[in-house]
Amino acid sequence: MKRQNEEHTANQLRASGANPTRREFLARGGKAAAGSILAGVALSRAYAGEDNTIRLALVGCGGRGSGAAANALSSATGPTKLVAMADLFENRQAKSHKALTEQFGAQVDVPAERRFLGFDAYRKAIDCLRPGDVMIQATHSAFRPTHLKYAVQKGVNAFIEKSFAPDPGGTKEVLHLGAEAKRKGLKVGCGLMCRHSYSRQALIQRIRDGAMGQIQLIRAYRMDPGARMGPFKGGESELLWQIRRPYFFLWVSSAWFIEMMIHQVDECCWIKDAWPVSAQGLGGREPGSTDCSQNLHTYAIEYTFPDGTKALVNSRNQPNCHNEFATWVHGTKCAAQFSGNVHAPTVQTYKDQRIVKDNITWQPGKEKLSPYQAEWDELLTAIRRDEPYNEVERAAYANLTSIMGRAAIHMGRIITWDEMLASEFKFCPNVDFTADSPAPVQADAEGRYPVPIPGPWTEI
C-alpha cells in the first residue's frame, strides 16, 4: 500500500527511505522462502483440509497484503492456495492478482467470481474458506476488528497486519477477539515480524543472560524526509479518498507515526520484557506548512518502564535533515545496536558505550530466513500440528504502547498505562460504511483536516 502524496512520486519516496517497505511484494516479489528451515514438518490430522492444502483469503490487496500472501504461498511447510480476494479498489486487486498469478501460477486459484469488491467484500471472501483455513487481514487498521470478528465467528485462522487499530477502543476489541480465538483453538499471527528475526532473538538471549548488564536506556529513531498531503479537490467520494491515504488520517490507520514506528516501539518493549507505565513527549509541525493531513512532523516520546528505565522514541519527517533508522540499547556493561535501516537485522554489541565500527565485540550469524517468511512458517506449522499459536495480546499491547506515546504528544500531558487499559475512545465508532457514507473527518475552508493541538485535543 503506497502512500498517497500530492508532492512526491512513489519512486521519490522509495529513494528517500520514507516509503513503508513492509511487505513490498508488488515492488519486489515474495521470494524469500526457498531456504525455509521448517521444510518437511510432520502434518497433523487436526487441520483443515484432507488434501493438506491450507486455503487463503486475502482481505486487503495492497503491497502489504500481497506480500503476506506471497510469504504464505512460498512456505515450504506444506501446500497452500489462494482462493479468494477482497478489496475496495478494483485496480489494486487486479494488480495484486496479476503479480501473484505470475509468480505462483496454479497456487492462485481466484477466478473473477471469487474476487470481491466493496465494504462487505471481506465477508464474501471469508465465506470461501473452510474452518481451519486462513484469512490474511491487511486492510487499513480501522477495519481490523470488524474483519477479525467475522473470521473468528466462522472458525477461521487469521494473519493480521500492523497496525492493529487506530485507537484504544479498537485495540481492546482486537484484544478480546484474540482471547475468543484462543478459546476456540484458532491460530492468529500478527505482523510484527521483527520478533521473528534470528539476529534479534540472539541479542535478546544475551541481554537475558546478563551480557549487557542492567539495561538503562533504549533509543529508537526513524527520521526521514516524510511526505505531505494536498487538499481534497472533490469529484469523487471523500470517504474513499481518505481511505486511499491511510498515513495521513488518524481514523483510517493510525496516521504516520504509528504506521512508521510501531515495530521499534515493540522492539523497546521486547528488550525490556515489559510494557511501559507512562509516556510523555513533544511534537510539532514545520512552520508555514501547507500539509493538509492530520500529522505532526516530529514526535519525540519518553517511555518509562516499571523499573524506571527509559526508552526514547524519535520520529522526524523533514527533508534536508539528518536521517536515521535504527534502535540502540545501553546497558551498564556495554551498548548494542538492535536493528538497522528499514528494519535490517543490523545487530551487534560494543565493548563499551562507544558506538563505532572498531569497537564491535559480537555479531550474530547471518539470518537463516527472512523474518517475514519465518512468521508465516511458524503460523502455518502451528495450524498443521494443531498447536497453540496466538500473538494477539502481545501485538495489541504494542499497539496500545504506540498509541500511548502518540496521545502524550497530541494531548500535551503524561499518559499512563492504566489510562490506556481503561480507555474506550474511538476516532470512528462505526466503520460499517456504504459507498455513499460521508467521510468521518471533514476539512476546513482551506482544505486542512484537524491537527492535534495539545491541551484541548483528546484521543484516549
Confidence of residue 12 (pLDDT cuts 50, 70, 90): very low
Q: By the 8 A CB rule, do 93 and 59 touch? A: no
* Mean pLDDT taken over the chain: 91
List pLDDT tens digits, range 207-243.
Answer: 999 999 999 999 999 999 999 999 999 999 999 999 9
> Residue 262: pLDDT above 90?
yes
Helix (H) or strand (E) holding 269: helix 255-272
Confidence of residue 38 (pLDDT cuts 50, 70, 90): very low
List pLDDT tens digits, range 62-102.
Answer: 999 999 999 999 999 999 999 999 999 999 999 999 999 99
> Residue 439: pLDDT above 50?
yes
Residue 51: per-residue pLDDT: 79
Name the grid cell of 437.
457514507
> Residue 374: pLDDT above 80?
yes
Name the grid cell of 185.
483453538
Residue among 434, 420, 365 at smallest CA distance from 197: 365
Strand order of the β-sheet with 335-339 is: 360-362, 348-350, 335-339, 324-331, 215-224, 310-317, 298-304, 278-284, 415-416
Rounded to whole angstroms, the Cα distance separating 156 from 186 reads: 7
> Residue 173: pLDDT above 90?
yes
Rounded to whole angstroms, the Cα distance separating 49 from 124 reads: 20
Map grid coordinates 513527549 to a residue: 281
Rounded to whole angstroms, the Cα distance separating 378 from 38 reads: 8
Helix (H) or strand (E) holding 275: none
Residue 161: per-residue pLDDT: 98
Map grid coordinates 535490517 to a residue: 344
Q: Using only C-alpha atoms, what is the Rg of the chain?
A: 21
Rounded to whole angstroms, the Cα distance separating 237 from 285 reads: 28
At residue 281, what are phi and psi to the nearest 5 degrees? 180, 180
> Residue 28: pLDDT above 80?
no
List pLDDT tens digits, range 324-368.
Answer: 999 999 999 999 999 999 999 999 999 999 999 999 999 999 998
Average pLDDT over residues 257-278: 98
Average pLDDT over residues 443-460: 97
> Residue 422: pLDDT above 70?
yes
Map grid coordinates 519525540 to a residue: 300
The three-class DSSP label of residue 51 is coil
- Beta-bridge partner residues of 33: none
Residue 223: per-residue pLDDT: 97
Residue 10: per-residue pLDDT: 34
Count other C-beta atoms under 10 Å from residue 412's C-beta.
17
> Residue 41: pLDDT above 60?
no
The three-class DSSP label of residue 283 is strand
Average pLDDT over residues 261-270: 98
At residue 221, what are phi and psi to the nearest 5 degrees? -130, 135
**Could you tell me the domains of the chain?**
10-194+372-390 (3.40.50.720), 198-369+400-422 (3.30.360.10)
Rounded to whole angstroms, the Cα distance separating 157 from 131 reads: 8
Confidence of residue 379 (pLDDT cuts 50, 70, 90): very high
